[in-house]
Structure 1
Amino acid sequence: MENSKFVEKMSAIAFKINSYKYIIAIKNAFASLLPIIITGAFATLFSNMVFDSVNGLARFGPLAFLEQMKPISQAINYATMNLLTIAAVFLIGMEVANLNKLKGHFAGLLAVVSYIAVIPTTIEVLTGEEQLVEVANVIGSDYTGSRGLFLGMAVAILSIELFTWLTNQDRLQIKMPDSVPSNVSRSFSALIPTILTVTAMATLSFLIQLVTGMHIYEIIYSLVQRPLENVVQGLPGVLLLMFVAQVFWVIGIHGNQMVKPIREPILLAAIAENTTAFEAGEAIPNIINMPFWDIYMSMGGSGVTIGLLIAIFLVSRRKDFRSIAKLSAEPGLFNINEPMIFGLPVMLNPIMAIPFVLTPLVTGTIGYFATAVGFAGPAVVMIPWTTPPILSAYIATAGSIGAVITQIVCIAVATLTYLPFVQVSNKAVTIEEAEKEKYGEERTESATQVK
């Protein structure tokens, strides 16, 4: 009874979080953004592993012509990874507007305009003489790339909420005659709210800088984004995030969806930074990022259930376990494990819940230290989460054999972790069958005596 109440309470919390408007907007926006991030990541992969004359295929004489194609991949990388925040602002603005019952794409454009209105358009450039020179009318990559994400998210939400409120004020709407085409009429209706929104955002940025002496970007990045990055991109933080996700899975709630609003902006920004550094030939800054989560902590799906599948095939004598495992094997290779979680089930199963929660924490720790000591290469390429194990480690790390070996070790550790619990399940079903036989015999004897 107490367990049932706990599950109901957690389900209510999960529903409340997932139904929060801004959480929905951010999740939907980053889901739409993934193809852009993956495109940029693969452009970087080709740039370095195919078109590069030092490390890529272009270093071989017959394939030297490939180097001439490198500007193509560099252009794609710039258009995707270096403009990540601009794309995110547009999509979040649209999502918030849709939730506010505003139709069309204009809100996304307005969010981008509002964001550009609050960021500096002057940057300092170091010349060949080691002198700093101010360059006006340009936008620095810090503001358009991953570092500007949190400010961009805040501006997108704030600007569209303000625009929505202003749009609903009848006295601010310019009414046009019925003879005017509807698209022209809508443009004039949005005119005053647009002017007031962009002006308000620019003024807010100006006043903050005037009062604090710091730009709003510096405040948001230093007080919000950087501390969150330090937590989530550190081993204790990512393990805590995974632990929370696993606990939600165990009680029947999609754990990844629960942690997504915290995980996605930070870990996607981390892989974007890694990709940019890899393209520039610089040191890779982040061990923990989105592909790290996928290749070391979610092989076969949440809970590293590829280990559970192998353990069942090795030692399980239960027909139900083996049947579910056979059905789950194919989707499991692509990291889809809902059949295991809800069919075995792992959910609300006190025996399987223990390794399900603990295994990704162990494999994540192994992956972290293998990368930290240099045995495994860091992830530099954003890959689809459905990429099969082994291949995922190889592609995400741009060909690191150490990462592939580390992932194999993690799968082996996961299998060993699940094995004793599968064996306990074997004993549990044996006891259950014995009890059924015992009570069945007693019922037969009782029936005979009655006769």
Structure 2
Amino acid sequence: MENILQTADRLFQNRYIISIKKAFTITLPVIILGSIASLINNIPINIVQMGLSTPVGQVIRAVNSAIWLGSTAVMAILIAWTLGYYLGNTYKLNGTLSALTSVSAYLAICVTTSDGGISLGQLGSGGLFGAILIAILATELYHAFSNLKINISEDTAEEVRQMFAALLPVMLSVFCIALTNGILLMTSGKGVDEWIYTALSLLFSAADGGGLAGTLFLVFGIHIFWFFGIHGGNVMDSIMVSAFGENLIRNTDLYALDHNAFDEHLAIISKGFLDTFVFMGGAGTSLCIIIAVFIIARSRYMRSIAKMGGVFALFNMNEIVLFGFPIILNPILLIPFLLTPLTITLISWSAMSLGLAARVVTEVHWAMPPLISGYLATGGHLSGSILQMINIIAGILIYLPFIRLMDRRAVQKESLKDNNTALLKNTLNTVVEKVHSSTGEINGEITDFSIVLESVVRDLNVLSAQMQQQMQVMHTCDEYMRTIDTSVGNTDTSIKAVLQNMEKTNTLSTTGAQNLQQTMQEMEEAFFSTQKTNELASQLNLRCEQIEGMLKSIEDISVQTTTLSRSASIEATHADVHGKEFSVAAANIKDLSEATAKAVSDIEGLLQGMKADTSDMIERSEVSFKRVETGLQQVIDANRLFGEIVQNIHNIQVQCHTVLKYNGEVIDELQQINEQIQTTSHFFEETASHTSKVAAQVRNRSDESKEMAHKLRKLNVETSLMTVNALENLES
């Protein structure tokens, strides 16, 4: 047995199986969450279901449904992502990009609904097999195309460079799978996903009308699919419906006539038969696994999974058991996982055929716990519960030797882990003891070093006493320095005053220059204003000449008007005879009157223009006078400023004499300081000699400190090695 299992282990130690195991293991928390939500909504207890019918219960039911939709209902997507991630890591690819490629490729081959959506059945456990195959294929294509990179500048951000490097591999991988799916759809009407499940169904289409052989074949197929992580019930659902879909309905009708659950005319095999007597605790009769673990297992991990999954197994939900131990892709549990449901199916069929147990005559909710479900499914016969008990015992006996073997391995791993933990503790204790021992040595070294330091301190105290004897001399030197500081301070003040005067002189000079420039500008503007006045005067003369011409026109018009008036008077006397000529004369008189009015209007316009020009000339003349006055005042200010400049120059000369005076005083003070420095230099010569002796002693002590530091470094290296060994033991 051990040799067979070792061979199976080697067969299962390839990159695909390992990646699939990791994918299912990492999604276990989400699967457990979905199982809890589904259990709460489907638990077959009346009081619970009544509570879920209340307003608050409906909210709880809606929340659980949402949780189920976000976990178990999209299990195929989760597995496609995690499988792509782990399989991509085995090729040293970017795991995230590999996962994205797998999910995108799987969604590309999913069959769409009439409204363009994706069927939820393909995203859940029913699509697991397709998701696994497509994720493997997409990752392999991504690996094959990974050399087709778009290289960009290294100065670009790392995320952008990774995106460009993966652009072609990801696009080509998804495109190839989508293209293949499209070709299959156009040629056969079925996509890749549908062909996968059609092929799987054809493998088990030999089930014949619900007979014993066909039923055993179906049970075997369901569990072999589950072993590879495929929801066998969903894959085989259509076959089970065609094989014995109506058997339970016919049994219910016959039982309603005579209430005899032992009637030989009742069909033995039905979906209710499998749910009630075979799938107790879920696929593989997982309830037997839980009980066997509690009976024989000593592994802490196995017992914890059994405790966690036991409650769910009572209600026929075994995802925690399947993915927790795990049973999926576990070579140790392959034989009992297949053998137990086949054996129980044969026992149940034999018991009902021999009339030892009642047959299934009514449908029971799939989440009903065992023993209760057997009693209810057989129409209230204890034989149903007794048969379930016998099946559970038979399953436990089949699982026990394999659970023992699996437990032995788990205990060995846990024991090895415990031994490593103990070794780590011993190592750490050794490290602690070594540190304590080294600490004692260090304390001794520190004590010796303290003695040396005390000697150095005593020498320094002697040196300090000698320094105090020279403090009086330094005090005198300080007084001279203060005198120098005062003299220098006065010199600085004088220099600052000189600088201030120079700045003021500079400012005044600049102001004078600006004022003179402004005066020149004002003079130029006055000149231009005078020119404008002359031009306006010329225009005025021209307009006057025009007025004279117009006046002559008016005089001519007046003469003509007089003549016409006379003619009009004469013709007026003959109006009865010469009315026509009189009209012409009257018209001429009218035209002349209009011309006269126009001439008068033009004269008024010209006169208004003359008035405006005259006003402008007056204003400009006033502005020119004001500017001339301003220029004169600025010239006066410039003269005054230049006077101040002369006075400031005089002040600068006085300040320079003051500086020279203070420089003489400083020279005298410096001579006195030089004498004092000569006296102090002898003291520092003696001090330097003594300090050299002290420095020699300190150097000797420094050599001792270096030796002690070498010991500390050696101790640090030993401690580091021991720590590395401890970490290696922990990792192994």
Q: Distance between the aligned counterparts of 1:365 and 1:296, measured in 2? A: 18
Q: What is the Cα deviation at residue 48 of structure 1? A: 3.4
SS at match of 2:141: helix
Which residue of 360, 363, 367 corresponds with 1:373? 360
Q: What is the Cα deviation at residue 45 of structure 1? A: 2.0
Aligned-CA RMSD value? 5.1
Where does residue 183 of structure 2 map in the other structure? 207
1:178 lines up with 2:154 in the alignment: yes
> Alpha-carbon deviations, 1:122-141, whole Å to 9, x = none?
x23xxxxxxxxxx13x2122
Where does residue 14 of structure 2 map in the other structure? 20
Q: Distance between the aligned counterparts of 1:330 and 1:404, measured in 2? A: 31
SS at match of 1:291: coil
Where does residue 262 of structure 1 map in the other structure? 227
Which residue of 90, 108, 111 corresponds with 1:117? 108
Where does residue 71 of structure 1 map in the other structure? 62
The TM-score, its normalising length taken from structure 1, stands at 0.56
Q: What is the Cα deviation at residue 50 of structure 1? A: 9.2
Q: Distance between the aligned counterparts of 2:151 and 2:138, measured in 1? A: 23
8 Å Cα contact 1:174/1:188 also seen in 2: yes
1:156 lines up with 2:156 in the alignment: no
Q: Distance between the aligned counterparts of 1:360 and 1:195, measured in 2? A: 45
Q: What is the Cα deviation at residue 204 of structure 1? A: 1.0
After TM superposition, the structure 1 = structure 2 runs for residues 261-300 of structure 1, keeping only pairs within 5 Å, are 262-267=227-232, 287=275, 291-300=282-291
Q: What is the Cα deviation at residue 24 of structure 1? A: 2.1
Residue identity opposite 2:360 in structure 1 = V
8 Å Cα contact 1:94/1:107 also seen in 2: yes
1:40 lines up with 2:40 in the alignment: no
**Residues 1:394 and 1:173: Cα distance change in structure 2 (over 3 Å):** farther
Q: Distance between the aligned counterparts of 2:344 and 2:66, measured in 1? A: 36
SS at match of 2:126: helix
**Residues 1:147 and 1:39: Cα distance change in structure 2 (over 3 Å):** same
After TM superposition, the structure 1 = structure 2 runs for residues 32-431 of structure 1, keeping only pairs within 5 Å, are 32-49=26-43, 55-58=49-52, 65-121=56-112, 123-124=113-114, 135-136=115-116, 138-167=117-146, 169=147, 172-224=148-200, 227=203, 234-236=215-217, 238=219, 262-267=227-232, 287=275, 291-301=282-292, 335=306, 362-363=343-344, 365=346, 373=360, 377=364, 379-380=366-367, 408-412=389-393
8 Å Cα contact 1:37/1:272 also seen in 2: no
Q: What is the Cα deviation at residue 101 of structure 1? A: 1.9
Q: Distance between the aligned counterparts of 1:299 and 1:150, measured in 2? A: 26
The TM-score, its normalising length taken from structure 2, stands at 0.36
8 Å Cα contact 2:37/2:68 also seen in 1: yes
Q: Among the aligned pairs, what percent are the same residue?
A: 23
SS at match of 1:15: helix
> Alpha-carbon deviations, 1:33-84, whole Å to 9, x = none?
333233222212222349999934345xxx6632232211111122223212
**Residues 1:204 and 1:361: Cα distance change in structure 2 (over 3 Å):** closer
SS at match of 1:106: helix
Q: Distance between the aligned counterparts of 1:271 and 1:371, measured in 2? A: 26
Structure 1 spans left out of the alignment, 5+ residues: 1-5, 125-134, 243-258, 274-282, 310-324, 337-354, 382-391, 420-451
Residue identity opposite 2:28 in structure 1 = L
8 Å Cα contact 2:103/2:135 also seen in 1: yes
> Alpha-carbon deviations, 1:174-198, whole Å to 9, x = none?
1122222222211111011111111
Q: What is the Cα deviation at residue 87 of structure 1? A: 1.4
Q: What is the Cα deviation at residue 211 of structure 1? A: 2.6
Q: What is the Cα deviation at residue 215 of structure 1? A: 2.0
Q: What is the Cα deviation at residue 332 of structure 1? A: 6.4
Q: Which 10-residue stretch deviates more, 11-20 or 39-48?
A: 11-20
Residue identity opposite 2:14 in structure 1 = Y
> Alpha-carbon deviations, 1:135-164, whole Å to 9, x = none?
13x212232223322222221111110001
Q: Which 10-residue stretch deviates more, 28-37 or 325-334?
A: 325-334
**Residues 1:372 and 1:55: Cα distance change in structure 2 (over 3 Å):** farther
Residue identity opposite 2:97 in structure 1 = F
**Residues 1:108 and 1:184: Cα distance change in structure 2 (over 3 Å):** same
Q: Distance between the aligned counterparts of 2:340 and 2:226, measured in 1? A: 23
> Alpha-carbon deviations, 1:237-268, whole Å to 9, x = none?
656998xxxxxxxxxxxxxxxx7973432348
Residue identity opposite 1:373 in structure 2 = V
Q: What is the Cα deviation at residue 18 of structure 1? A: 0.6
Where does residue 3 of structure 1 map in the other structure? none
Greater fraction of residues in helix: 2
Q: Distance between the aligned counterparts of 2:359 and 2:283, measured in 1? A: 12
How many positions carry a matched residue from both structures? 322
Q: Distance between the aligned counterparts of 1:88 and 1:225, measured in 2? A: 22
Residue identity opposite 1:199 in structure 2 = F
8 Å Cα contact 1:115/1:155 also seen in 2: yes
Which residue of 24, 29, 50 corresponds with 1:30? 24
Higher relative contact order (CA 8 A, sep 6+): 1
Q: Distance between the aligned counterparts of 2:151 and 2:364, measured in 1? A: 61
SS at match of 1:41: helix
**Residues 1:189 and 1:329: Cα distance change in structure 2 (over 3 Å):** closer
**Residues 1:260 and 1:220: Cα distance change in structure 2 (over 3 Å):** closer
**Residues 1:109 and 1:66: Cα distance change in structure 2 (over 3 Å):** same
**Residues 1:163 and 1:415: Cα distance change in structure 2 (over 3 Å):** closer
Q: Distance between the aligned counterparts of 2:398 and 2:129, measured in 1? A: 38
> Alpha-carbon deviations, 1:291-312, whole Å to 9, x = none?
23243542434xxx76xx5xxx
Residue identity opposite 2:12 in structure 1 = N
Question: Which is greater in Rg?
Answer: 2
**Residues 1:161 and 1:297: Cα distance change in structure 2 (over 3 Å):** same
Q: Distance between the aligned counterparts of 1:51 and 1:175, measured in 2? A: 63
**Residues 1:88 and 1:357: Cα distance change in structure 2 (over 3 Å):** closer
8 Å Cα contact 2:73/2:124 also seen in 1: yes
Residue identity opposite 2:57 in structure 1 = L
Q: Distance between the aligned counterparts of 1:229 and 1:182, measured in 2? A: 53
Q: Distance between the aligned counterparts of 2:359 and 2:163, measured in 1? A: 54
**Residues 1:416 and 1:183: Cα distance change in structure 2 (over 3 Å):** closer
**Residues 1:65 and 1:26: Cα distance change in structure 2 (over 3 Å):** same
8 Å Cα contact 1:229/1:266 also seen in 2: no
Q: What is the Cα deviation at residue 22 of structure 1? A: 1.9
Residue identity opposite 1:208 in structure 2 = L
> Alpha-carbon deviations, 1:396-439, whole Å to 9, x = none?
99x999998765444555689999xxxxxxxxxxxxxxxxxxxx
Q: Distance between the aligned counterparts of 1:326 and 1:13, measured in 2? A: 24
8 Å Cα contact 1:26/1:261 also seen in 2: no
**Residues 1:197 and 1:177: Cα distance change in structure 2 (over 3 Å):** same
Residue identity opposite 1:118 in structure 2 = I
Q: Distance between the aligned counterparts of 1:119 and 1:357, measured in 2? A: 30
Q: Distance between the aligned counterparts of 2:143 and 2:288, measured in 1? A: 41
